[in-house]
Amino acid sequence: MKHESPAMSPAQVNEIEAEHARWIEQVYEPALERTPERRAFEVDIGERIEPLYSPATLVKAGFDFSKDVGFPGEYPFTRGDSATMFRTEPFVISAYSGYGEATDCNRRFKKLIELGAEQILVALDLPTQCGYDSDDLMSTGEVGKVGVSIDTLADMELLFEGIPFNSVKRVGTLGNSIGPIVLAMYAIVGEKQGLAPADYVVNLQNDPLKEYLARGTQIIPAAPAAKIAVDPVEWCATHAPNWSPITVCYNHLNAGGAGSTWGAALALGNAIHYLDLLVARGIPIDSVAPLFHMFPDERHDFFVSVANLRALRKVWARLLSERYGATDLRSLALKTTVYGHGQETLQEPLNNIVRIGFGTLAYVLGGASYVYIASHDEAVGTPTEETVKVATRTQQIIAHEHGFTDTIDPLGGSYFVETLTKKTADDMWQHIERIDAIGGALRVIDSGFGRDVMNRGAQKRQQRLDRGDRPWVTVNIHPQVPNVPNTAFRLDPTTTERQHSRTAKIRRERDNAHVQHALDTIDRACVSGENMMGPVMEAVRAYATVGEIAERWRRHFGSFEPATSF
């Protein structure tokens, strides 16, 4: 059945458009002239915000209900990835946490679960993310600082001691360049807990391609890194089809300057590369596409956050249907993980509670599947237990109070939100075509194009902040000097020593002949191109360290050298 939207005759539309124009000319603009101060009304993605939206706005934008909106759980999935959405199952309340070494962090995880966290995402420290052991010279001063230090399987066993994986809805980590290693750790710890893969869900970000543009935790050049990243996806398609082994992310791309729409396109370009690699192996698209999730991001504009999520689902469904011929609804209905925040400041950190609450609400109204949020003191340092509790309660209040989740897609049909959603989706698609024309995700990285997009966007964003076009309370409105009490979380000074001692003990007591054999198997996989999961699983089971495994990758593939201009 064809749906026309808005449901009006051309004469009615013309009448509304004429009235809209009259209001602008005779009412709004004269009032605007009497306003002493003005600013440019433009969202962070560059779209000009009109003073008023009407049905005529949608008609001019070429809006069509069935093509652009539809119904929840049906193509194009703009209104949600399932038919019932939060009416039957609220978004998953998640916690992203990690610091110090495993025994310290284990206590925090247990507290988070006690508070009601339904998913634990492990924050790894930078040495672990970059494939260095805690006692490597490269790790000096960074052990346990921005996440927990994980050197071997023994650390992961301690990290989840007394926390059965099936006691929460999902467990996982955002480590991107070591995906096979951490997936192997979760699989083996699950075995040791007496669980089969079907009994629990592991969620990995495992998206190395965005690291080359946005964060810098890459280990090897982009092409072999992408190949290694999709090996866990292929493994899960056979052994753990209920897991989520890859979450393609544009959180950091947006934060780095790309903006949420270009960030989405760059991330979708990365997803295309991963999918192409899998399809080239002869794997049916409907066997791997349901294993993909995405991590969207828009931290500056409430309504853009809503529109961006809705547009992303629509573009994903079109991409999977038209380019790959996917037909399974699980392939077309994209699941999303989001991180609730909102331009947190070091000035007056308590204000961040409001910012984070509104940012999280926008994601929920946009239909996010999994939500974890910042704590208000993250601008200061690692969150304290009390601020983590506030963050968890914020999610629970949004999930269960005030009726936010009582109806599906409550902002659907808004003239403003639908106009913004359509414009965002159209822009995403045009950017994807530009990425295709350049040569795809690897060329975006190697040519410097992606970095150029981010640099230009970051410069424009900063200029708008400096001019005051982007209002920011306590920064360019009612500016304040940061005056943070010295109460921020502080890492136990014995952390590094304790971590070094545990790793040294593991190296002494493990079967080093078995470790050497397993590492040699990884060498052979690097040369042959076979799936890396089997060799890595054997090495992890033998208590090889993260650094020892990553070093074999470095030995065969080399290190990444970035392009600096486009």
User: What does the pLDDT look like over 416-465, one tens digit per residue?
Assistant: 999 999 999 999 999 999 999 999 999 999 999 999 999 999 999 899 88
Judgement on whether residues 337 and 445 belong to the same structural domain of the protein? yes
414 and 392 within one domain? yes
User: In the listed set 401, 436, 467, which residue is the last one of a domain according to the structure?
Assistant: 467
Residue pair 372/339 in contact (Cβ under 8 Å)? The answer is: yes
Q: Please say if the pLDDT value at position 269 is more than 80.
A: yes
**Are 310 and 426 in contact, with CB atoms under 8 Å apart?**
no
Percent of the chain at pLDDT > 70 equals 96
Is residue 79 located within the same domain as residue 58? no
Domain boundary among 419, 451, 467: 467
Four-CA torsion 92, 98, 102, 108, nearest 10 degrees: -60
Chain centre distance of CA 198: 24
Per-residue b/e over 334-371, b at no fewer than 16 CB within 10 Å?
A: bbbbbbbbbbbbbbebebbbebbbebbbbbbbbbbbbb
3-state secondary structure of 50: coil
Query: Alpha carbon of 415 to those of 55, 78, 148: distances in Å?
Result: 6, 15, 46
For 83-111, what is each residue's pLDDT tens digit?
A: 999 999 889 999 999 999 999 999 999 99
Does residue 57 sit in the same domain as residue 99?
Answer: no
Q: Is residue 5 part of a domain?
A: no
Residue 457 lies in a domain: yes
Domain limit, last residue, from 66, 89, 105: 66
Given a contact cutoff of 8 angstroms between Cβ atoms, the answer to whether 99 and 126 are in contact is: no
What is the reported pTM?
0.94
Domain annotation covers residue 510: no
382 and 108 Cβ atoms separated by less than 8 Å: no
What pLDDT does residue 562 have? 67
Question: 353 and 247, same structural domain?
Answer: yes
DSSP state of 256: I
Whether 88 and 50 share a structural domain:
no
Residue 227 lies inside a defined structural domain of this protein: yes
Quote the CA–CA distance of 67 and 317 in Å, as a whole number.
12
Q: What is the pLDDT of residues 296-332, one digit of tens each?
A: 998 889 999 999 999 999 999 999 999 999 999 999 9
Mean pLDDT is lowest, of 52-61, 239-248, 329-338, 433-442, for: 52-61
Strand partners, 93: 371
Confidence of residue 38 (pLDDT cuts 50, 70, 90): low
Q: Per-residue DSSP letters for 431-453?
A: HHHHHHHHTSHHHHHHTSHHHHH
Same domain, 36 and 58: yes
d(CA 341, CA 63): 31
Q: Assess whether pLDDT exceeds 80 at residue 490.
A: no
The β-bridge partners of 313 are none
Q: Are 169 and 119 in contact (CB under 8 A)?
A: yes
Least confident of 12-21, 240-249, 439-448, 556-565: 556-565
Greatest mean pLDDT among 4-13, 64-73, 314-323, 475-484: 314-323
Q: How confident is the model at residue 488 (pLDDT cuts 50, 70, 90)?
A: low
Specify if 95 maps to a domain: yes
- As a whole-number percent, the residues of the chain with pLDDT over 90 amount to 77
- For 328-349, the pLDDT digits (tens) are 999 999 999 999 887 888 899 9
For 275-300, letters b (16+ CB in 10 Å) and e give bebbbeeebebbbbbbbbbbbbbbbb
Q: In terms of pLDDT, which residue wins out, 521 or 482?
A: 521
Over residues 260-266, mean pLDDT: 96
Asked whether residue 173 falls in the same domain as residue 202, the answer is: yes
Q: Mean pLDDT of all residues in the chain?
A: 92
Q: How far apart are CA 275 and CA 283, in angstroms?
A: 10
Q: What tokens appear for 489 in the block?
A: 């979380």
Residues 6+ apart with CB under 8 A from 71: 79, 83
| Residue 196 sits in the same domain as residue 49 | no
| 20/96 same-domain check | no
For the chain, how far is it from start to end, CA to CA, in angstroms? 48
Residue the block writes with tokens 């080093």: 512
Would residue 475 count as lying in a domain? no
Q: What is the CATH number of the domain that holds 415?
A: 3.20.20.240
Answer yes or no: is 552 within a domain: no
Compare 382 and 199 and report the one with higher pLDDT. Answer: 199
CB 522 within 8 A of CB 532: yes
State the residue range of the domain holding 49. 10-66
How many C-beta atoms surround the C-beta of residue 241 within 10 A? 15
Q: Which residues contact 15 (CB under 8 A, 6 or more apart)?
A: none
Q: Is 284 helix (H, G, I), strand (E, B) or coil?
A: coil
pLDDT at 42 over 80: no
Higher pLDDT, 47 or 372: 372
Residue 29's pLDDT band (boundaries 50, 70, 90)?
confident
65 touches 314 (CB < 8 A): no
Above 70 in pLDDT, residue 4? no
Residues in the chain, total: 566
Question: Using N-to-C axis directions, what is the helix angle for 102-115 and 385-400, rounded to 10°?
Answer: 30
Judged against a pLDDT cut of 70, whether residue 1 lies above it is answered with: no
pLDDT greater at residue 486 or residue 499: 499
Radius of gyration of the chain (CA): 24
- Shared domain check, 237 and 154: yes
pLDDT one-digit tens code per residue, 394-416: 999 999 999 999 999 999 999 99
**Contact of 232 with 206, CB cutoff 8 Å:** yes
Of 88-92, 162-166, 467-471, 481-485, give the lowest mean pLDDT range: 481-485
Angle between the 533-541 and 222-239 helix axes, to the nearest 10 degrees?
A: 80
> Which single residue is written with the structure tokens 């960030």?
263
Q: Is residue 561 part of a domain?
A: no
Number of domains the chain contains: 2
User: Is 158 in the same domain as 44?
Assistant: no
